[in-house]
């Protein structure tokens, strides 16, 4: 059967939208985007028996419509819908680099999933992902290629939240940092009225994390954010986050950790871990992993024969040198970062695709420096070489890596979380 490769789906979706509008019509459930239908189908196929909130009938209807669309010459019988994995139609969703563990120890959900760094980390601990969400269509494409699952879209939408299973063990989220407005809170306090997390965090993406914690009460959560979250908005942002998590009756453990202990990159991020007080009574023996001296060097992640297209043009190299000189004369530290191959790099950013200036690889005196290749960026974030990064353009790959987590660091913290969660006595 000539089944389309899963990594091609988003491009095909885009073409279909241009030709036929933005949605596919279903007979029983109104209109759903092609992406949402594919998310329902892939979550259904990977998690049969685990997704309580996902109507089997709805999933079967989407499977029928999908197969009718792809294979109009084949009669889609009830037998096919009852055992879709036995038909061979969906093999590509399972012929992937990182399948779920068959004998899993716990379940988790992956919010603001990006490239799937949290998923790799939790998978390494024996975890099974039962829900994923990521709004960026290019990141969805990369995620689909590696895990065989299309993440659902905008998690702020109630129609997406309804697909989250009733029960799961761990919530993972690298949520974006946003300021909170405290004006309304101050007014309510002056009137003697209590404020809850819905009042304090409404309108921010952290609200959706808190909302899901409130509704589903997983045993634990693992959040990651930029180092400056602690000082963001004069400390108000983190203060409200802490107060909200405590209001939801979760304990809080947090620490700023540097990825350089795991990869040759200086990348500081805050790790926030919490456990359900109703289960653990704040007696959990959780500790963050101890940082070790960095042993990896930039030269360890470089490809042998990178394409010449990654070498800076004479014009761009001259511009960067002049730009750095101008700011140095003004006493500023702005400029390019020509790395020591025996050292570590600056922090990889999502803007790396523009000129690569923060991390440039020297190529001797007779050749201009070059930017990292997408594969090297993935290695710099700790992704294994069998991770598929080339199903999107270089620009999108750079953006995804710059927005990602350091996988070995997240894995090390995840190990401590799961060790604590599975060994502590639980009072159900």
Q: Which residues are catalytic?
A: 177
319 CB contacts (<8 Å, ≥6 apart)?
A: none
212 CB contacts (<8 Å, ≥6 apart)?
A: 109, 111, 155, 161, 164, 171
**Helix intervals (H) in 224-300:** 236-247, 277-280
Dist CA 428 CA 423 (whole Å): 14
Work out the end-to-end distance of the chain between its first and last CA atoms, rounded to an integer number of angstroms: 49
Phi-psi region of 364 (alpha: psi -120 to 50; beta: other; left: phi over 0): left
Other C-beta atoms closer than 10 Å to the C-beta of 202 total 14
Dist CA 100 CA 103 (whole Å): 9
Backbone angles phi, psi at 381, to 5 degrees: -95, 0
**Tokens (6 digits) for 147:** 């895990």
62 CB contacts (<8 Å, ≥6 apart)?
A: 26, 32, 37, 40, 41, 44
Other C-beta atoms closer than 10 Å to the C-beta of 362 total 13
Packing angle of the helix pair 394-402, 137-147 (nearest 10 deg): 90
Dist CA 133 CA 116 (whole Å): 10
């Amino acid at each position: 059967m000539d089944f389309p490769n899963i990594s091609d789906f988003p491009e095909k979706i885009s073409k279909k939208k241009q030709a036929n509008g933005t949605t596919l019509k279903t007979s029983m459930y109104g209109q759903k985007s092609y992406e949402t239908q594919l998310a329902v189908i892939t979550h259904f196929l990977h998690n049969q028996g685990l997704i309580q909130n996902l109507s089997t009938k709805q999933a079967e209807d989407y499977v029928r419509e999908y197969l009718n669309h792809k294979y109009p010459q084949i009669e889609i019988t009830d037998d096919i819908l009852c055992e879709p994995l036995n038909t061979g139609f969906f093999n590509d969703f399972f012929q992937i680099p990182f399948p779920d563990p068959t004998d899993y120890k716990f379940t988790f959900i992956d919010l603001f999933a990006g490239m799937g760094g949290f998923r790799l980390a939790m998978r390494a601990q024996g975890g099974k992902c039962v829900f994923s969400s990521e709004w960026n269509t290019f990141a969805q494409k990369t995620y689909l290629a590696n895990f065989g699952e299309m993440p659902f879209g905008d998690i702020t939408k109630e129609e997406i939240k309804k697909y989250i299973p009733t029960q799961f063990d761990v919530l993972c989220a690298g949520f974006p940092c946003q300021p909170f407005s405290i004006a309304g809170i101050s007014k309510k306090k002056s009137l003697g009225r209590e404020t809850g997390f819905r009042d304090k965090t409404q309108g921010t993406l952290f609200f959706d994390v808190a909302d899901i914690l409130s509704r589903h009460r997983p045993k634990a959560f693992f959040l990651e954010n930029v180092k400056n979250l602690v000082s963001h908005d004069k400390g108000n942002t983190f203060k409200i986050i802490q107060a909200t998590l405590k209001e939801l009756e979760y304990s809080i453990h947090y620490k700023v950790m540097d990825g350089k202990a795991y990869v040759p990159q200086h990348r500081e991020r805050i790790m926030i871990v919490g456990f359900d007080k109703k289960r653990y009574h704040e007696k959990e023996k959780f500790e963050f992993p101890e940082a070790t001296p960095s042993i990896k060097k930039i030269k360890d992640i470089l490809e042998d024969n990178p394409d010449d297209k990654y070498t800076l043009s004479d014009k761009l190299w001259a511009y960067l040198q002049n730009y750095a000189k101008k700011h140095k004369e003004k006493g500023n530290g702005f400029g390019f970062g020509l790395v020591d191959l025996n050292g570590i790099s600056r922090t990889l950013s999502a803007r790396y695709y523009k000129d690569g200036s923060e991390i440039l690889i020297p190529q001797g005196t007779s050749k201009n420096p070059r930017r990292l290749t997408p594969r090297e960026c993935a290695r710099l974030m700790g992704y294994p070489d069998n991770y598929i990064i080339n199903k999107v353009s270089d620009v999108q790959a750079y953006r995804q890596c710059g927005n990602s987590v350091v996988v070995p660091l997240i894995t090390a913290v995840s190990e401590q979380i799961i060790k604590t969660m599975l060994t502590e006595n639980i009072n159900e």
